[in-house]
Amino acid sequence: MKQHDPMLALDGGDDGLTAYKELIGNAKRVLKRNSGLLMEIGFDQAEELSTLARELVGLEVRCEHDLAGQPRVIVVVFP
Tens-level pLDDT at each residue, the chain (79 residues): 667 776 666 666 777 788 888 888 888 788 888 888 999 998 899 999 999 888 877 678 899 999 999 999 999 887 7
Of the candidates 55, 15, 18, 11, the residue with the CA atom closest to the CA atom of residue 39: 18
pLDDT at position 75, please? 92
In a domain, 28, yes or no: yes
Contact criterion met (CB below 8 Å) for 72 and 41:
yes
Number of structural domains the chain divides into: 1
Give the distance, in angstroms, between the CA of residue 31 and the centroid of all CA atoms in the same chain: 14
In a domain, 6, yes or no: no
In a domain, 11, yes or no: no
The CATH number given to whatever domain includes residue 58 is 3.30.1370
How far is Cα 56 from Cα 36, in angstroms, rounded to an integer? Answer: 14
In a domain, 12, yes or no: no
pLDDT at position 10, please? 66
The reported pTM is 0.74
Domain that holds residue 71: 17-78
